[in-house]
Amino acid sequence: MASDQKKESFVEIWRQGSNRKTGWAVLKSKKAATASLAKDSKGDLYAAFNVKKTSDPDRSGEYDHEIRLTIPEIVALLDALAARGVDKYQAELMAGLAQSARSLNRLVAIASGIPLAQPE
């Protein structure tokens, strides 16, 4: 995500309401999303994308959104990337994740039970 933030990337949130005859609505952000890591009120860890200044085609004004992903949801995304993603989109993943190799290696170490030194 950090590399995407440097590239003026903007977020689109696709939503579909209960009246599915109208199809999907796209909420476009005027700013790049920011990523954060925190704990909720129960102490559970989550990652969040904060999306600011989205426009809604059905309403006037701008809105801020926070999309929270729990660790099990992140695992599901990683599993999808590692299985179907690598099978179908290897070149795109290779190019897109290349700048995240250090971060991915740190996560692999932790997932493998190898503790990492804390920065001083």
Residue 93 and residue 9: Cα distance in Å, rounded? 17
Q: What is the pLDDT of residue 12?
A: 75
Tell me the pLDDT tens digit for each residue of 12-70.
Answer: 777 777 766 667 777 778 788 899 999 999 999 999 989 888 877 777 888 888 999 99
Q: What is the pLDDT of residue 81?
A: 92
Give the predicted TM-score (pTM) of the model: 0.73
CB 27 within 8 A of CB 56: yes
CB 82 within 8 A of CB 111: no
